[in-house]
Amino acid sequence: MIKWEAHACLPLHPQASFAPIDQLRDAGVHYVSVNVGMDMNPLAQVMAVIAGFRATIAANPGRYLQANSLADIHHAQATGKIAVGFDLEGAIPLLEQPEMVALYASLGVRQIHFAYNRNNTVADGCHDVTRGLTPLGVRMVQAVNAAGMLMDCSHTGRKCSLGIMAASSRPVIFSHANPLALIEHGRNITDEQIRACAATGGVVCVSGVSFFLGNTSPTAQDVARHAAYVADLVGVQHAGIGLDISFPEPGLNDDPPGDYDPTYWWPRSAGYDRALVRATFTPVDTWKELADALQQIGMTADEAALVMGGNMARVAQQVWPQS
């Protein structure tokens, strides 16, 4: 059984420690998608982070493996390593050039969503005015499909996400999102979005962030409850896990350079208090508890295994390069 963490956040700094990746491996995770940049991060910062993270992976071949295919994840699992892929959170680092998608894919970016809470020239963010997927956005979806990259709709406006899912020829995922029906928050997604994701053959991976679970000290049981909602609505084959744990590193400043205003990206009007300062996350050891938590709410062991990684592995098999 592959355990698949669909989204985690190290400091966006080329010297960020990979100790949290070791913690995930020790908790039984076989693959983790690590953020390498968001819409507020300039291209120079994103590229420096990618270069630094790739160097750390290459310098520690006994611990990490750069994942470009599902076969790489199986190899990591068999050899006691953890496979690492990258994800981009926003289309601004694409510089309005669909050709940039393939470049990022060649550097290890395996999934992308097009907007980080706010609108850009490609897509709508979930905390901004509604427009829908732009004509450039349609071309970007096609580029993501062609590059064998996972198309993600986390942080994306509702109407826009439906447009992305309609435009995609491959399964689409939400790498870290929760059901709006359980917790009212602008970052959470509607039943319509969940159904549209399932209709593409995709997976909704539930987050472990306190704001979106409705618990200031979130637990494996909270995550299981949200995963069960998705499973009950559209089938267990469309539920997954993306805990979105953030791992700050004291003394390492990863703020974007220049005039950076966190309250723009995480507006108080949308339910944030001083950006994400007061957010709390499920602990890494949640991964050790999830199987029991999912079975306690009525799933079989096989169904829990699908939620914890089997479903995302299926989608990767359909989307990613085969070797």
CATH number for the domain harbouring residue 64: 3.20.20.140
The verdict on residue 63 lying in a domain is yes
Lowest mean pLDDT, pick from 237-241, 252-256, 292-296: 252-256
The verdict on residue 102 lying in a domain is no
CA atoms of 88 and 112, how far apart (whole Å): 5
- Band of the pLDDT at 18, cuts 50, 70, 90? very high
pLDDT at residue 254 above 70? yes
The verdict on residue 212 lying in a domain is yes
Q: pLDDT at position 273, please?
A: 67
Structure tokens belonging to residue 15: 């010297």
The verdict on residue 147 lying in a domain is no
Q: 145: number of CA atoms within 13 Å, CB side?
A: 16
Name the one residue in this structure whose structure tokens are 């507006």.
267
The verdict on residue 12 lying in a domain is yes
Q: pLDDT at position 274, please?
A: 53
Neighbours of 19 (CB within 10 A): 10
Coil, strand, or helix at residue 156?
A: strand
Total structural domains in the chain? 1
Neighbours of 307 (CB within 10 A): 29
Q: What is the mean pLDDT of residues 131-137?
A: 98
Coil, strand, or helix at residue 109?
A: strand
The verdict on residue 132 lying in a domain is no
The verdict on residue 130 lying in a domain is no
Domain of residue 300, residue span: 4-92+171-268+277-319
Whole-prediction pTM value?
0.97
Q: pLDDT at position 149, please?
A: 98
Which one, of 184, 187, 159, lies nearest residue 275 by Cα? 187
The verdict on residue 73 lying in a domain is yes
Share of the chain above pLDDT 90, in %: 92
Length of the chain: 323
135-147 helix and 99-106 helix, angle to the nearest 10 degrees: 30
Q: pLDDT at position 271, please?
A: 77
Q: What is the mean pLDDT of residues 265-277?
A: 74
